Amino acid sequence: MVAPDTSGLKKDKEWLALIAQLRKRKPLLIADFVARFPTSELYEGRVSDPEIDALVASTMEMYLVLLSGEPLSPALQRLPEDLGRRRAQQGVPASLLLEGVRTNSRVIWNALRELASDDSAAALVRNTDAVLSLVEWHVREVQSAYLREEEALNRHSERRRQRVIARLFDARPLDRDDVAAIAVDLGLERVDAFEVAVQLGTHHGDCALCRSKTAKTFHHEMAEGTCHIRPASADGGIITELSGCHAAVISPVAGLAHVGQAAQACLSLVHAWAARAPELVTPATAWPAVAWRSLNAAVPADYLPINLGGLTGMPVYERRRLVETVRRYLDTGSIKATADALYCHRNTIVKRLARFQELAGVDLRIPRDAALVLLALTGVDT
């Protein structure tokens, strides 16, 4: 809180006489402000009429004391800060609040001009800069207090929101009442389906998903990544916005009770895909990688049911070409479709598949072998 500076006021007898006349008009000043700035209507019921009346009277008194060059009482000196904090708490828009403050100063200034006689007009001119300086102090103190309180409220609201969201990831099971309470706290009580996305790493302050104006999005920082949650949409939602990013998405998730489980599944998906080129993955695209990762974790390498080590000795470009051919073939099981997709003759595809069978010791025509190859190829760096 910064004290107002009244050192620039020229407190000659003409000026003090002018302020004495202004004080006698205090009730009229209040009425003029109310006519110019109908707070009950503009504040849409956020502030009670008695509170507004008391504030206007106190603000006019503050200006009269300042213009007299007298020190403010502690209560009047705190008035701008108290006003800014209170209106932030009441949800009054900052622009509307500051317009009210400026209206107050205009009422004072217009009254001074009307009261100024030939003798006091020169005194008003001499003190114009000092009056404007006091108005700037008032506006600055109200605005600063409003912004500080708004920031504190936002921090408190965000902390509370994060505590509520964290309950979805709690190891303890949630019952129906728990889920209903969380939905109400987050304003999601009418939402049945959600999208859950997980990216590795910490949450970014300028996160594009959180800034989205198309959907309410919440985030939760997990041990290894960041989870985003939002109501499911028919237009692709998070999947569209994360296109090209290294992330995993599950959508739709049926209700908030399943969000934590879906997030853990996404984390497994995005980890399993880490060896491949960064891209957006879903259970439909990443299940082989998840399965192979789990198999590798459970079974020593020497005992895995398939070994693609024979591919490692090939030149890189040949290995990539061979693996891509096999992957294309496993997508359809059709030599013709694979040849068309790779712009090759079918005999070329047949030769490549035979070469892969020789190196890997498997027959892609046998479903069990094909399934093993589908899993094992997720661990091949191409």
Token pair for 54: 């008391």
Domain co-membership, 124 together with 153: yes
CA-only gyration radius of the chain, Å: 35
pLDDT tens readout for residues 185-218? 898 888 889 999 998 877 776 677 777 766 788 8
Residue where a domain terminates, one of 247, 268, 295: 295
Give the structural domain span for 205.
176-295
Least confident residue range of 119-128, 281-290, 333-342: 281-290
Tell me if residue 251 falls in helix, strand or coil.
strand
> What is the enclosing helix (H) or strand (E) of 131?
helix 128-166
pLDDT of residue 32: 92
Residue where a domain terminates, one of 295, 312, 331: 295
Domain co-membership, 26 together with 145: yes
Domain co-membership, 271 together with 326: no
**For position 112, which CATH number holds?**
1.10.490
**What's the pTM value of the predicted model, to 2 decimals?**
0.57
Does the structure show a pLDDT above 60 at 275? Answer: no
Give the total residue count for the chain: 382
What are the helix (H) ranges across 68-117?
A: 74-77, 79-90, 94-115
pLDDT tens readout for residues 46-75? 888 888 889 999 999 999 999 998 989 999
pLDDT of residue 376: 87
Work out the burial of residue 210: count CB atoms within 10 Å of its CB; fewer than 13 is exposed, 13-18 middle, 19 or more buried. Answer: middle
Domain co-membership, 288 together with 312: no
Contact in structure between 308 and 291 (CB atoms under 8 Å): no
Domain co-membership, 288 together with 360: no
